[in-house]
Structure 1
């Protein structure tokens, strides 16, 4: 067991560094809305939620909701795809 202690220590340091890899000196990417900083990931999440709601309303309006299995999963997937696309395009 004493021989494994340096290995565990190295693994703990590596895990700590991997957790901190997203931190940068420039700060988090954000927009200034009404004088307050609004993080882009939060904006991407809100856009994804709106996209999921729009997709649900479209399915109901076109009467596809009776034919579409797992509506919640499909609408959540649509919202996730839109949010990730927005995040990717907004952050280079």
Structure 2
């Protein structure tokens, strides 16, 4: 029985490794923080484009739309640069 528990514990901990991090400003930052920042900046740029195209006024739930845009950009950034 202890042999099975050892294998089970090893299987559960096999995904644990060093967290992906980015070296910036003399310190290591987690990659999700960089991806969130890029997502927020991307959503702001999308909003500027929507305002220029006059699409911002017709959006039904602006906050939800821009939150989803930021999330999509952050996830795509994470999958593009930090997936293994």
Tell me the TM-score normalized by structure 1: 0.68
Q: Which runs of 5 or more residues in structure 1 are unaligned?
A: 1-13
User: Which structure has the larger Rg over C-alpha atoms?
Assistant: 1
Kindly indicate whether residue 23 of structure 2 is the aligned counterpart of residue 32 of structure 1: yes
Counterpart of 1:23 in structure 2 is 16
Alignment TM-score, normalising by the size of structure 2: 0.74
Give the number of equivalent residue pairs: 74
Deviant stretches of 4+, over 3 Å: 20-23
Select which of 49, 58, 63 maps to 2:40. 49
Which deviations, in whole Å up to 9, do the C-alpha atoms of 1:1-40 show, x marking residues without a partner? xxxxxxxxxxxxx9xxx7x77632xx21111112210111
- For structure 2, the 5+ residue unaligned runs are 1-8
Q: Secondary structure at the match of 1:66?
A: helix
User: More displaced, 42-51 or 58-67?
Assistant: 58-67
The whole-number CA distance in structure 2 between the counterparts of 1:42 and 1:21 is 24
1:88 aligns with 2:51: no
